[in-house]
């Protein structure tokens, strides 16, 4: 088990940052004091709207809103975006839905693209289903969500949408402290340094909690740095982002509406569970006139106990990856902008799985086929090459054509470090026809994908109406190809594909969009335990956002009605049937968020928030349901002086008993299982700026 960064990564990070700091020290000046002239605002590049365009189904939270939310988990911020549900797990774990169901199991990872300053935080094919805990959403300068396929611009995995976190560039220095229920704490800092030729800004925080449930505490730390300067006529922006998470993990509680039982909701059936993960990313964006290029380096390491599997094996995975994105605008006129680009990326990754003890307390089958010892151990290298273009042409006054196209090639070189097949690690066989875990022989696989987007937008009154047709793709992930079961020696998988038609309007104070989409090659584990890609789904929905201000009152509303259905017949692993026309499980029809913001004075803000999650099926057979919930939150913030402010939050104001996530399984007698939500919580804190 690793608990420190590799020496090579530390040396790289220090080598990249310390020489730059040394050049700033002779003329170092700190950020402006209160009352000094306000410094010019600095902007971090990499916003999605700069690449996707201003028109379309996107939403953004700015730094002030992020601060007001004070999220202890990404779901608290993202629930106010229409079409989005980030289902909270234990600690910082989560599952994401953007115009989709909350997906689990095979095919769940890699359905959405997570970016930082416009760059993916993970290499293609090596996704992390919990990827938001590798992003500093707590101190973001901007959180952007793009709904619908974005592969034509952003590449693979942007099948259903993308979430982009833009680094904050604070204009003042500050220190913050916060305490709350269940031994929660947060320490934060922001700084800004300007020498004239160089500018360095950044954020850092550490947070943690003892946990509401038994043995579910966690601690995390995140640091984000941005350096801006000019070199040989290029505007240069260097970024460094680091995250670390150490958590005890809670398992599902079992039984119908177990989240309403005062004892069960606080229990943890797997108190020995844990997750340890760190990540570091370095990027340097160079821009000059119509040219830009961005080299980047990433590394991550994660270890966790798979408490949800019999035998509770430990998985460890790590990756080191590097790449570069080039862009050039051969045409940039008032009526026509044309951009060409390419991306090149390489990754070296590893995954292993180890079961410490023999399994003796499960069924005879499980006891026999899940052996003690090594179950998987492999390396996988990948190479990605992509070319793309974007076009925006005003062919008539107030009417524009937008078009994007991306061709992407991804190759895996997989090297099995164990015996091929489904034996124990010493080569002996398991009963019942062989061990569960099957290791394919070393091999290479490659995938070529093309995605496009075309649309027309027209100025209408104070806003813009638009119609777009787009496609997205998701290559099979490494784990789906090489971590197989039983008798599947080769997973013959194709890339998942989605096509979508959308019509919408973006006005000054309201936005609305309607869409219809179809997904092919939907990946799932069938009744034989094989990873297969012959699934299909369809979906349609309407999303809306409204925000209006009257005097010192602001009212905001976001809402979604959507329907997602299976378009095929099959059986899932464990015998759960799928019938064409069934609703995709864990896909609520209704999602809504409403906020009343009241600012009686310039120094006092309050926000009353309501979050609604509609009823939905929790199994593919549509036999089990969760009733949904309505939760209220209250937030207050007071600026006592120009340099000192205090804040407070009451989360789950009415102490609602509900589940962050509900599920149904045929593998337990209880069937229903839940991640129970926390009861009413209180948080208070203060920030000092200088």
Q: What percent of the chain has pLDDT over 70?
A: 93
Lowest-confidence region among 60-74, 185-199, 477-491:
477-491
Summarize pLDDT for 645-684 with one digit per residue, the tens: 999 999 999 999 999 999 998 877 789 999 999 999 999 9
* Integer Rg of the chain from CA: 25
* Interatomic CA distance for residues 607 and 647, integer angstroms: 11
Sheet with strand 142-147: strands edge to edge: 58-62, 142-147, 161-166, 113-116, 119-120
pTM, two decimal places: 0.92
Q: Is residue 2 part of a domain?
A: no
The residue among 126, 109, 150, 165 whose CA lies nearest residue 384 is: 126
pLDDT confidence of residue 302: 98
Measured from the Cβ of residue 41, the count of other Cβ atoms closer than 10 Å reads 7
The residue among 343, 497, 475 whose CA lies nearest residue 410 is: 475
* Residue 478 DSSP code: H
* Interatomic CA distance for residues 590 and 630, integer angstroms: 12
Measured from the Cβ of residue 640, the count of other Cβ atoms closer than 10 Å reads 10
In the predicted structure, residue 580 carries a pLDDT above the cut 70: yes
The tokens describing 663, both together, are 């599920």
In the predicted structure, residue 28 carries a pLDDT above the cut 70: no
CB 71 within 8 Å of CB 140: no
The tokens describing 82, both together, are 């229409």
CATH number (domain holding residue 288)? 2.40.170.20
First to last CA, the chain: 41
* Interatomic CA distance for residues 235 and 237, integer angstroms: 7
* Interatomic CA distance for residues 533 and 238, integer angstroms: 40
Summarize pLDDT for 223-262 with one digit per residue, the tens: 999 999 999 999 999 999 999 999 999 999 999 999 999 9
Q: What is the mean pLDDT of residues 318-328?
A: 97
The residue among 142, 192, 189 whose CA lies nearest residue 39 is: 192
Summarize pLDDT for 348-380 with one digit per residue, the tens: 999 999 999 999 999 999 999 999 999 999 999
In the predicted structure, residue 427 carries a pLDDT above the cut 50: yes
* Interatomic CA distance for residues 137 and 70, integer angstroms: 10
In the predicted structure, residue 26 carries a pLDDT above the cut 90: no
In the predicted structure, residue 573 carries a pLDDT above the cut 80: no
- DSSP state letters, 546-589: EEEEETTEEEEEEEEEEEEEE-S-EEBTTS-EE-TTPBPTT--S
* Residue 180 DSSP code: E
What domain count does the chain have?
1
Lowest-confidence region among 19-28, 103-112, 290-299, 617-626:
19-28
- How many residues are there in the chain? 690
H or E stretch including 382?
strand 373-396
* Interatomic CA distance for residues 207 and 493, integer angstroms: 41
pLDDT confidence of residue 9: 37
- DSSP state letters, 512-557: EEEEEEEEEEEEEEBTTS-EEEEEEEEEEEEEEEEEEEETTEEEEE
Burial pattern 132-160, b for ≥16 Cβ within 10 A else e, equals bbbbbbbbbbbbbbbbbbbbbbbbbbbbb
The residue among 617, 2, 635 whose CA lies nearest residue 276 is: 2
Summarize pLDDT for 92-133 with one digit per residue, the tens: 999 999 999 998 877 788 899 999 999 999 999 999 999 999
Q: Is residue 185 part of a domain?
A: yes
* Interatomic CA distance for residues 562 and 101, integer angstroms: 10
pLDDT confidence of residue 627: 97
pLDDT confidence of residue 44: 58
Residue matched to tokens 């989360």? 651
Q: Is residue 292 part of a domain?
A: yes
In the predicted structure, residue 40 carries a pLDDT above the cut 50: no
Q: Is residue 649 part of a domain?
A: yes
pLDDT confidence of residue 87: 96
Q: What is the mean pLDDT of the chain?
A: 91
Q: Is residue 1 part of a domain?
A: no
The four Cα atoms 212, 213, 218, 222 give a dihedral, to 10 degrees, of -50
* Interatomic CA distance for residues 369 and 350, integer angstroms: 24
Residue matched to tokens 């045929």? 666
Q: Is residue 199 part of a domain?
A: yes
Lowest-confidence region among 93-97, 416-420, 572-576, 646-650:
572-576
* Interatomic CA distance for residues 92 and 220, integer angstroms: 9
What is the domain range of residue 274? 7-689
In the predicted structure, residue 31 carries a pLDDT above the cut 60: no
CA distances from 333 to 193, 287, 290, 293 (A): 36, 18, 12, 21
In the predicted structure, residue 486 carries a pLDDT above the cut 90: no
Report residue 508's pLDDT band, with 50, 70 and 90 as the boundaries.
confident
In the predicted structure, residue 35 carries a pLDDT above the cut 60: no
pLDDT confidence of residue 574: 67
Lowest-confidence region among 69-83, 232-246, 589-603, 664-678:
664-678
Burial group, residue 406, by CB count within 10 angstroms (0-12, 13-18, 19+): buried
Q: What is the mean pLDDT of residues 411-437?
A: 96
């Amino acid at each position: 088990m690793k608990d420190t960064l590799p020496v090579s990564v530390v040396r790289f990070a220090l080598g990249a940052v310390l020489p730059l700091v040394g050049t700033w020290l002779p003329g170092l000046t700190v950020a402006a004091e209160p009352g000094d002239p306000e410094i010019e605002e600095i902007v971090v590049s990499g916003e999605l709207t700069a690449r996707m365009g201003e028109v379309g189904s996107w939403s953004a939270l700015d730094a002030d809103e992020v601060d007001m939310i004070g999220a202890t988990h990404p779901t608290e911020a993202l629930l106010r975006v229409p079409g989005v549900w980030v289902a909270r797990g234990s600690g910082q774990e989560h599952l994401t839905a953007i115009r989709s169901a909350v997906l689990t199991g095979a095919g769940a990872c890699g359905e959405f693209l997570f970016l930082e300053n416009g760059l993916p935080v993970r290499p293609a094919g090596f996704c992390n289903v919990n990827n938001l805990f590798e992003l500093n959403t707590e101190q973001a300068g901007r959180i952007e969500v793009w709904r619908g396929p974005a592969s034509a611009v952003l590449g693979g995995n942007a099948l259903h949408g993308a979430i982009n976190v833009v680094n904050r560039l604070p204009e003042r220095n500050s220190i913050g402290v916060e305490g709350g229920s269940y031994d929660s704490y947060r320490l934060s800092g922001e700084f800004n340094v300007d020498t004239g030729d160089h500018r360095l800004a950044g954020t850092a925080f550490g947070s943690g909690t003892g946990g509401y449930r038994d043995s579910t505490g966690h601690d995390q730390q995140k640091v984000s740095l941005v350096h801006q300067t000019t070199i040989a006529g290029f505007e240069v922006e260097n970024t460094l982002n680091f995250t670390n998470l150490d958590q005890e993990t809670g398992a599902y509680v079992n039984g119908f509406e177990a989240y309403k039982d005062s004892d069960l909701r606080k229990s943890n059936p797997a108190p020995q569970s844990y997750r340890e993960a760190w990540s570091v990313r370095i990027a340097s964006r160079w821009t000059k006139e119509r040219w830009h290029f961005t080299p980047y380096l990433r590394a991550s390491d994660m270890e966790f106990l798979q408490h949800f599997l019999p035998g509770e094996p430990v998985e460890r995975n790590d990756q080191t990856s590097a790449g570069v994105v080039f862009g050039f605008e051969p045409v940039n006129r008032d009526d026509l902008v044309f951009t060409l680009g390419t991306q090149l990326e390489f990754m070296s990754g590893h995954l292993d799985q180890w079961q410490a003890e023999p399994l003796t307390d499960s069924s005879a089958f499980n006891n026999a086929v899940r052996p003690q010892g090594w179950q998987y151990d492999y390396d996988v290298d990948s190479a990605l090459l992509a070319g793309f273009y974007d076009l925006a042409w005003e062919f008539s006054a107030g009417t524009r054509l937008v078009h994007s196209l991306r061709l992407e090639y991804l190759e895996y070189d997989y090297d099995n470090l164990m015996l091929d097949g489904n034996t124990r690690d010493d080569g002996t066989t398991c009963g019942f026809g062989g061990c569960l875990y099957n290791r394919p022989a070393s091999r290479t696989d490659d995938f070529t994908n093309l995605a496009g987007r075309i649309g027309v937008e027209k100025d209408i009154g104070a806003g813009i109406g638009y119609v777009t047709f787009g496609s997205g793709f998701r290559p099979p992930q490494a784990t789906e190809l090489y971590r197989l079961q039983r008798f599947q020696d080769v997973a013959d998988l194709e890339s998942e594909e989605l096509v979508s038609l959308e019509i919408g309007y973006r006005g000054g104070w309201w936005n609305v969009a309607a869409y219809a989409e179809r997904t092919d090659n939907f990946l799932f584990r069938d009744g034989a335990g094989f990873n297969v890609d012959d699934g299909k789904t369809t979906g349609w929905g309407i999303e809306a956002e409204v925000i209006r201000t009257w005097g010192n009152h602001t009212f905001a509303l976001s809402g979604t009605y959507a329907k997602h259905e299976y378009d095929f017949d099959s059986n899932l692993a464990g015998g759960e049937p799928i019938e064409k026309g069934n609703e995709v499980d864990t896909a609520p029809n209704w999602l809504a968020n409403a906020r009343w913001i009241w600012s009686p004075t310039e120094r006092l803000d309050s926000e009353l928030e309501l979050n609604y999650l509609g009823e939905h099926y929790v199994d593919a057979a549509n036999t089990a349901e969760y009733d949904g919930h309505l939760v209220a939150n209250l937030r207050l913030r007071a600026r006592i002086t120009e340099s000192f402010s205090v804040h407070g939050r009451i989360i789950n104001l009415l102490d609602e008993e509900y589940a962050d996530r509900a599920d149904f399984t045929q593998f337990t007698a209880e069937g229903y299982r839940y991640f129970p939500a926390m009861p009413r919580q209180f948080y208070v804190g203060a920030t000092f700026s200088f």
